[in-house]
A = this chain, B = another copy of it.
Amino acid sequence: MSLQPLNTETAESLPPVQRAGRITDTVHEALREAIFAGQLKPGTKLSVPALAKQLGVSRSPVREAVARLAQENLAVEETRRGAVVARIGTADLARLYEIREVLEGLATRLAVEHSGKKLVTELEGILREHRQAIDDHSAAAHTRADMRFHQVIREASGNPGLIELLKGLQAQVRLAMVTTTVTAGPVLALADHHAIFEAIRKADPEAAEQAARAHIARLRHNLEGVAKRT
């Protein structure tokens, strides 16, 4: 039951390390990664029998994994017609940012209220890496640092449901990025993160919430400016 990489007709390639846990989870993760990597592009049909064959597992866990993708809004199901990878355009992305704006604001405020200097230290490290990524002109490292910054903050919020929702939103944003290449630019992102960090360091919940909201609002406005022109 070793999973084979997508788009490969040939034999085994993953190490024989028995992945722990349920096959369903492994398949779900594999499909998510394939989607984020652009291997399964928006619009692609997610044929359960085909994927099962490619991955070397039965149809059951694939069916479950695809259903999960649909509930995460990474795929769209039509009855009796199967699922396709979701297409998230700039208009949809703007709607997602509306939600993210208030939720990131909330998470940041809660993080300041509950968390100590461990958070500050961790964010300092991430910002350092972020700066390095930009100096190196590494888009991949920039994205990684960007995502980790938000991840660390939301996980410090102490609200499990909030963490889950923000994870879900980030996944959708990641999918949107496969198609839409609209960013405010790494340098601006880092500047925003620095502002958020400063408010956290000063343990000012209100300022932190506002800075986080302003960050996402800026992303959204940038997006809407471009969308109008398209």
The interface on chain A, measured as residues whose beta carbon lies within 8 A of the other chain's beta carbons, has a size of: 25
Q: Are A99 and B103 in contact (CB under 8 A)?
A: yes
Question: In whole angstroms, how far apart are the Cα atoms of A204 and B110 in the complex?
Answer: 28
A7 nearest CB across to chain B (Å) = 27
Of residues 75 through 132 on chain A, the ones whose CB sits less than 8 Å from some CB of chain B are: 79, 95-96, 98-99, 101-103, 105-106, 110
Instruction: Report which A residues bind B (CB closer than 8 A).
Output: 21-22, 64, 67-68, 71, 73, 79, 95-96, 98-99, 101-103, 105-106, 110, 159-162, 165, 169, 172
Residue of B nearest to A71 (CB): B71
Q: Are B96 and A161 in contact (CB under 8 A)?
A: yes
- Further pairs besides A96-B161, A98-B106, A102-B102: 16, Cβ < 8 Å: A22-B79, A64-B67, A67-B68, A68-B71, A71-B71, A73-B161, A95-B160, A95-B162, A98-B110, A98-B162, A99-B103, A99-B161, A99-B162, A103-B103, A161-B169, A161-B172
Q: Residue A99 contacts which of B21, B73, B106, B169 (CB distance < 8 angstroms)?
A: B106
Copies of the chain in the assembly: 2
Q: Given the complex, which residues of B lie within 8 Å of A106, measured CB to CB?
A: 98-99, 101-102
Q: Are B64 and A159 in contact (CB under 8 A)?
A: no
User: DSSP class of A's interface residues: helix, strand, loop or mixed?
Assistant: helix
Interface centre among A105, A110, A165 (most CB of B within 10 A): A165
Q: Given the complex, which residues of B lie within 8 Å of A21, measured CB to CB?
A: 79
Given contact pairs A21-B79, A22-B79, A165 touches B67 in the complex (Cβ within 8 A): no
Question: In whole angstroms, how far apart are the Cα atoms of A96 and B79 in the complex?
Answer: 32
Given contact pairs A22-B79, A79-B22, A95 touches B161 in the complex (Cβ within 8 A): yes
A103 nearest CB across to chain B (Å) = 7
| A–B pairs, 9, beta carbons within 8 Å | A21-B79, A64-B64, A67-B67, A95-B162, A98-B159, A99-B103, A99-B106, A101-B106, A165-B165
